[in-house]
Structure 1
Amino acid sequence: MNAQPLNDPEAPRGCPFGHGTEVTRLFGPEAATDPGGIYERLRKEHGSVAPVLLEGDVPAWLLLGYRDNRRVLDNPRQFSRDARIWRDWREGRIADDSPLVPMVAWRPDCVSQDGEPHRRLRGAVTDGLQAAADRGVRRHATHFAHKQIDAFADAGRADLVADYAEYLPMLVLTRILGLPQGEGRQLVESSAQVFKGGEDAIAHNDRIMQILGELAERKRAEPGSDFATALLEHEAGLDEDEVVSHLRLVLIAAHTTTSNLLARVLQKILTDASRLSGLVSGELTVSAVVEEIMWNTPPLAVLPGRFATADLELGGHQIQEGDLLVMGLAAGNVDPEVRPDGVSVQGNGSHLAFSSGPHECPGQGIGLAIIEVAVDVLLHRLPGLRLAVPAEELSSTASTWESRLDTLPVEFSV
């Protein structure tokens, strides 16, 4: 395990963990290939809450227990989303070009606020997303699903990650937000790089902000039936920075989670004959498969971040005011205290994948609609759809925040 004892002279300054504590990095080669193994070792060593290091050796607490995750997510007074109270940020230990900034730092959006400021901004987002859903997300998803499949339908083979799951959600989102379709591919790359972190994360985040800033400027002059216009015209009176920040929030969060989830659903269908036959026969619904994936391989494995508003105890550890906590959604969903011996979760929607509490994902219905349409159209268009490699050859690559399927090669009748 890539661990660092904190009596080491190179241990990060201001670290909240006890002297001599070994702290595991959630980034690097091991984390990229076996994040689940790391979570389980941390659970054995530290219990339901574990000290970890994020990129740049920034200290944080990783929540591994289901109940600890729920306690933090459901109690914004104790665990704020406002990164301005983050001690390492406040005391100058986070560089402006840190790859954590796009994921963790404060922004003028509803995710970074609590209380009344959060309610004001969240209301605008929820209303805008509802209006987008009412205007035909399924119709857009059907249109773009057929267009994506048209590009490879005559070949008899495809990679359903690169050729389908990576781009379909973004194409639908460009229509919802009011962006030109041609900008979708560039935004897919930049969104992925923001989640991967690394030295290019800031540059890709800046690219996204530039594109969305130009979108807001266009829609202010020429309103349309889209999410950007809905934010600009909402009675909450969002200013320019708030509008662009919420466009970014919806774009990155919705695309990344939906594309990852779609790939995992397709993987499950193609590696489990009973799931595929159940969908084809109508005995199983796509939403049931989605629910299973949400428990076992949620699209976000780790959710940033919350900040302790006072000194307190959590999972047997002393948390200090201003400490950063990151939610282990994947780890919490398989917590043996709530799922002993891998107990079945069929019909149980209480997973952590959509977060919880006041910041629970407001766009989950849109994501589910895109996935349902994507699977239905694919199975209808490609008879004899089957995996082109043994299931055990499929691989994934993880960052701090997510684990993504690398490829999903398939064959089908032409």
Structure 2
Amino acid sequence: MNAPHAPVGRVPAGHRPIRLWEDGFAVDPHRYYELLRAQGPIGWAELAPGIPAYIVVDRRAALDLLHDSETWSHDPRAWEATVTEDSPILGMMRWRPNTLFADGDTHVRYRRTLVDAFSRIEPHDLRERVHRAVDILVSRFGPRGSADLVAEFCRPLMGLIFNNLFGLPDSESDRLTDSMAQIVEIAESSAQAEAEYGAYVLELIATKMARRGNDLTSWLLDHPLGLTPEEVTWQVFYTLGAGHEPTANLVSNALSRILGNPAYYTTLTSGSRPVLDAVVEVLRYETPLANYGIHYARQPTSLHGVWIQTAVPVVISYGALAYFAEKESGGERHPSDASHLSWSAGPHTCPVKQHTLLIATEAIERLTQWLPDLSPVLARDRLTWRPGPFHRSLTEFPVRFTPRTPDQSGGEGAAL
């Protein structure tokens, strides 16, 4: 198997690819973004050892690509043929017949089913599901007076919420959470985790094929566009994954920013500033899905002076775009400005961003109602981040608070 040649144009010939898979990227992604930007609007990197990719670090180049479906495709199968089957990167990039990897009319058809299914979830219903999941988790660690908000709140919270939305009992939620974490991290166990996640989805589909319910899976199976059970399986496979990990990271990143700044936290808990501002700030400056939006050139082409070959991933670095936007603004922040590209752009713009925002804001509001004196154990600059080229995700976030028990009277604690 021959590795693709380095890109030409503004990327220096023979330049060593920037290794986004190494631990240093998780520690200091901005340094890596600077190295990529030094090459031009499109840098040359590795997503995993021996897996090269073009990384788009310029906003205009990103928008030009995202809005040009004639030149660019989401279908990775030509690239897949160049990668060994045991590569851990495949869990995040392997072709599957779903919305993410489809183009044209097929993409429109798949996307329509997702939009229609999620539109049946009323905001008040989603809010109640989030509150219920938060209450379950706080009842577990609340009496202790301490918790790791990543392992004990953010990630299991998304397991409970999405497991519930798609129609399985709470007892199955840990399977979803555990498998997704390993797939995204590009760990050695990614192949096993992908198999376990696949088994979870197949069991979910089989359950709903036998007996429908008031859930997203059933609505997809019964959609008027007539998806086959296999198509529904892959839609669910994608949507669960796309909803779980990025939303968990969005909540944990937002909480770490909020709690790491007492003055900021006070404005939120007093109601003088909405939690939504903090969530949007994370999307704009520390987006949880830092590098994705993967495309492939249909034919060799030039993008902003860089010659792009076929069968080589072209990755949108939302993290780099956010970093350089903040840097160029001189650090002046306008949290209500949603001009960030965390939702992507063009035909593949996130179809359920309002649901995601509601989940994140309600989760943070409910948690801080329960535990208004949450205090981080470590300063934010001492927190550690999970390795991997795609995400910006904390490994842990330990906090302390006044213990709350299920039978405690008054406030939110009485509802536990």
Q: Distance in 2 between matches of 1:336 and 1:148?
A: 36
- Conservation of the 8 A alpha-carbon contact between 2:301 and 2:309: yes
Partner of 2:130: 141
- Conservation of the 8 A alpha-carbon contact between 1:258 and 1:367: yes
Partner of 1:368: 357
- Which sits farther off after the overlay, 360-369 or 120-129? 360-369
- Conservation of the 8 A alpha-carbon contact between 1:82 and 1:106: yes
Residues 124-180 of structure 1: per-residue CA shift (max 9 Å, x gap): 011111213457111111011011111111112212111111111110111100122
Partner of 2:348: 359
Partner of 2:36: 42
- Conservation of the 8 A alpha-carbon contact between 1:329 and 1:352: yes
Q: Distance in 2 between matches of 1:380 and 1:14?
A: 53
2:35 corresponds to which letter in structure 1? R
- Conservation of the 8 A alpha-carbon contact between 1:165 and 1:262: yes
Aligned residue pairs, count: 399
Report deviation, 1:255.
0.6
- Conservation of the 8 A alpha-carbon contact between 2:6 and 2:14: no
SS in 2 for 1:154: helix
Moved over 6 A (4+): none
Match of 2:163 among 174, 180, 191: 174
Q: Distance in 2 between matches of 1:345 and 1:74?
A: 25
Q: Distance in 2 between matches of 1:391 and 1:200?
A: 29
1:15 paired to 2:1 = no
Q: Distance in 2 between matches of 1:378 and 1:295?
A: 23
Partner of 1:288: 277
Q: Distance in 1 between matches of 2:124 and 2:84?
A: 42
Report deviation, 1:107.
0.8
- Which sits farther off after the overlay, 289-298 or 149-158? 149-158
Residues 197-231 of structure 1: per-residue CA shift (max 9 Å, x gap): 13321221121111111211121120111011011
Partner of 2:410: none
- How does 1:66-215 map onto structure 2 within 5 Å? 66-84=59-77, 86=78, 88-89=79-80, 92-133=81-122, 136-215=125-204
- How does 1:227-306 map onto structure 2 within 5 Å? 227-306=216-295
1:26 paired to 2:20 = yes
- In structure 2, relative to structure 1, the CA distance for the partners of 1:241 and 1:72 (3 Å cut) is same
- In structure 2, relative to structure 1, the CA distance for the partners of 1:242 and 1:126 (3 Å cut) is same
Q: TM-score, normalised by structure 2?
A: 0.91
- In structure 2, relative to structure 1, the CA distance for the partners of 1:311 and 1:337 (3 Å cut) is farther
Q: Distance in 2 between matches of 1:147 and 1:122?
A: 32
Residues 226-263 of structure 1: per-residue CA shift (max 9 Å, x gap): 01101100111111221111111111110101100000
- In structure 2, relative to structure 1, the CA distance for the partners of 1:69 and 1:133 (3 Å cut) is farther
Q: Distance in 2 between matches of 1:127 and 1:338?
A: 39
Report deviation, 1:346.
2.8
Partner of 1:378: 367
SS in 1 for 2:142: coil
Q: Distance in 2 between matches of 1:336 and 1:370?
A: 26
- Conservation of the 8 A alpha-carbon contact between 1:26 and 1:53: yes
Q: TM-score, normalised by structure 1?
A: 0.92
- Conservation of the 8 A alpha-carbon contact between 1:140 and 1:172: yes
Report deviation, 1:321.
3.2
- In structure 2, relative to structure 1, the CA distance for the partners of 1:337 and 1:166 (3 Å cut) is closer
1:35 corresponds to which letter in structure 2? P
**Identical-pair percentage:** 28
Q: Distance in 1 between matches of 2:126 and 2:192?
A: 30
Residues 322-342 of structure 1: per-residue CA shift (max 9 Å, x gap): 332011001012225993323
Partner of 1:220: 209
- Conservation of the 8 A alpha-carbon contact between 2:30 and 2:323: no
Q: Distance in 1 between matches of 2:113 and 2:54?
A: 32
Q: Distance in 2 between matches of 1:395 and 1:373?
A: 25
2:28 corresponds to which letter in structure 1? D
Report deviation, 1:16.
4.6
- Conservation of the 8 A alpha-carbon contact between 1:142 and 1:377: yes
SS in 1 for 2:21: coil
Q: Distance in 2 between matches of 1:16 and 1:308?
A: 15
1:28 corresponds to which letter in structure 2? E
SS in 2 for 1:98: coil
- Conservation of the 8 A alpha-carbon contact between 1:16 and 1:320: no
- Alpha-carbon RMSD across the aligned residues, in angstroms, is 1.9
- Conservation of the 8 A alpha-carbon contact between 2:6 and 2:15: no
Q: Distance in 2 between matches of 1:54 and 1:157?
A: 36
- In structure 2, relative to structure 1, the CA distance for the partners of 1:381 and 1:272 (3 Å cut) is same
- Conservation of the 8 A alpha-carbon contact between 1:69 and 1:327: yes
2:154 corresponds to which letter in structure 1? A
- Conservation of the 8 A alpha-carbon contact between 2:257 and 2:380: no
